[in-house]
Amino acid sequence: MLGTAQLAARGKSVRAILWLCLFLSPALAVRAQEPSPDWQREVHRYSQARDWAKAFEVVNAVLARNPADVDARESQAWLFLWSGDVPKAEQGFLALTKDSPKDPDMWQGLSSVYERQGRWQEALKAIDQAIQLDPHRTDLREQRAAVLRALDRRPEARLEFMRVLEMDPSSTEAKSGLLSLQEPPKHELRIGTDEDLFNYTGAYGSEWVSLVSRWNSHWDTSIAGDFFQRAGFGAGKVIGSVTGKTRAWGALTVGGAVGHDNTIIPRSEAFFGYDRGWRISEDRFVRGVEATYDQHWYWYSSARVLTLTGGTLVYLPRDWSWAIALTGARNSFPGLAPGWQPSGITRLAFPLAHWGERRLSGNALFAVGSEDFALVEQIGSFASQTWGGGFRFQFNSRQDVTGYAAFQQRTQDHTDTSFGFSYGIHF
């Protein structure tokens, strides 16, 4: 939904709040050399404390005395933006650009509003207008570079960051911006193993390897091989998929699988999925929402299964996220009428610690009615509850390891204890 480069570009608009930080604002330094009025210092103090109600009280009092006060109107527009009222912020900055068309700060503010809304082309036009009015301000050029990066116009963004460094060699924004433009790894090779320990039959084991390739901003491919063992019998399958993505429409994935089933796994599979995300806010509890839909067909030697899954992923502050998915499975066995089986799962993911590039994150899950459609003996009608959790440890940008464990309680006092690990290399 929301990639790291895009989130970083949108986050760059945070510097707009520096307008309120009076001692850091280049625009105010140009406008006036005398100390700022007391009301601006109050707005600054309340804004730092995120007490938007008090900040609005101060600005509104100034506007009540003088509705044409440009500084107060600009402060009000910024407050609308950072308190989350983006439509009013847009109205405020549009009015200011009409009344003060030669002021680059007004165009910078309007660009920040468009960034918040993901309207990147309009954000670029607005910041270009600001630079045309004052081409020597590095903060404007930094913002332009961030917008270009969000538009995936990476060569232009790199040139803009380099231009900033020519103007100000100490610019940390430009230095970090250039680092963010370094070509990320395109491929992820991952190997893993999974084990299921049952209290009513022998253990199941599997090993797998996958390669995911992100060729550009529009196309991904994935290929994987899974190898299963059960009571001395083996089976295997190959899975492949292609994903097409656009910023406006989201992502569509289609794929399938074939294999040597040995009456253990499906003989063939086909699936497609749709994924669409929306950014909600940088400041509120819900940062973004991602909706998914998946449809999967499994053809076994003596059974047919169709699963329909709808899910939602909610992005929360501090890199927390919460996912919930509901699945309806239509099982068809010879001689029996087809039947639907429901299941659902919820997962909470959260950061644990970080040391430079090294990062540790975890997750906890709970599922009801979950079934494993990879194995033929796991598709019968049974009720279950599953509790589990996992972790991901990132050594650096090129290597990570993941692990999980879960316990499933089924009807007839059957249990399944599962665990697995994987190691990923990014190149």
pLDDT tens digits, 40-65: 999 999 999 999 999 999 999 999 99
pLDDT tens digits, 108-137: 999 999 999 989 999 999 999 999 999 999
Task: Tell me the backbone φ, ψ of residue 255, rounded to 5 degrees.
Answer: -170, -175
Is 345 found in the same domain as 202? yes
Is 387 found in the same domain as 240? yes
Mean pLDDT of the chain: 88
Query: H/E element holding 144?
Result: helix 138-150
**How distant, in Å, are the alpha carbons of 46, 259, 381 from that of 332?**
63, 20, 11
Closest residue by Cα to residue 223 from 235, 208, 201, 205:
208
DSSP state of 36: P
At 19, which CATH number? 1.25.40.10
Is 269 found in the same domain as 176? no
- pLDDT cut 70: percent of the chain above it: 88
Where a domain ends, among 137, 153, 180? Answer: 180
Is 343 found in the same domain as 326? yes
Where a domain ends, among 124, 145, 180? Answer: 180
Is 268 found in the same domain as 142? no
- Report whether pLDDT(280) > 90: no
Q: What is the mean pLDDT of residues 4-14?
A: 38
| Residues facing 270 on adjacent strands | 256, 297
State the DSSP string of 234-248.
EEEEEEEEEEEEETT
Environment class of 84 (CB within 10 Å of its CB; exposed 0-12, middle 13-18, buried 19+): middle
Q: Which residue has the higher pLDDT, 412 or 363?
A: 363
Is 283 found in the same domain as 173? no
- Predicted confidence band at 22 (pLDDT cuts at 50, 70, 90)? very low
CA–CA distance, 179 with 173 (Å, rounded to integer): 10
Highest mean pLDDT among 90-94, 202-206, 247-251: 90-94
Q: What is the mean pLDDT of residues 277-282?
A: 84
Q: pTM of this prediction?
A: 0.68
Q: What is the mean pLDDT of residues 411-424?
A: 94
Q: Is 28 helix (H, G, I), strand (E, B) or coil?
A: helix
Q: What is the mean pLDDT of residues 256-282?
A: 92
Is 121 found in the same domain as 42? yes
Is 364 found in the same domain as 277? yes
- Report whether pLDDT(35) > 60: no
Least confident of 286-290, 333-337, 411-415: 333-337
Is 401 found in the same domain as 349? yes
Number of separate domains in the chain:
2
Is 355 found in the same domain as 402? yes
292: containing domain: 187-426
Three state DSSP letters for 382-399: CCEEEEEEEEEEEEECCE
CA–CA distance, 131 with 137 (Å, rounded to integer): 7
